[in-house]
Amino acid sequence: MVRRVAYELFPGIAILLVAGSVLGQGMQTFKDEQVAQRHCPADIVVWLNTSSANYHVKGDPWYGRTQRGALSVSILQT
C-alpha cells in the first residue's frame, strides 16, 4: 500500500520540481505566438500550463486554453 502511494506521488513531485526549477530560472514567456517563434526560430512554441507544469503543443485541445499559462518555447524536439 505504501509503495503504491509512493509510486503514484512520484510523477507529480517530479513535475513540480522540474516546473519550479524552470520557472525559477526566469524561463522566457511570451504573449504572442509569432513573437515567441521569432525569438527562438529553431524551437517549438508550446503553451505552458503554469498550474500543472504541463506543456501543450499547437493542435492540442488545451493549447492556449488553460486558466493559467503562457506561451514559451521548448528546446525538446518531439
At 10-67, the pLDDT tens digits run: 555 555 555 554 554 567 889 899 999 999 888 889 999 988 888 899 999 999 999 9
Contact 69, 31 (CB under 8 A): no
Q: Which domain holds residue 12?
A: 2-74
Q: Could you read off the pLDDT of 63-73 as tens digits, one per residue? A: 999 999 999 98
Residue 35, judged by CB atoms within 10 A of its CB (0-12, 13-18, 19+), counts as exposed
Cut 0.85: pTM above it: no
Do β-strands 69-74 and 54-57 pair in parallel, antiparallel, or remain unpaired?
Answer: unpaired
Beta partners for 45? 73
- Split into its structural domains, the chain has a count of 1
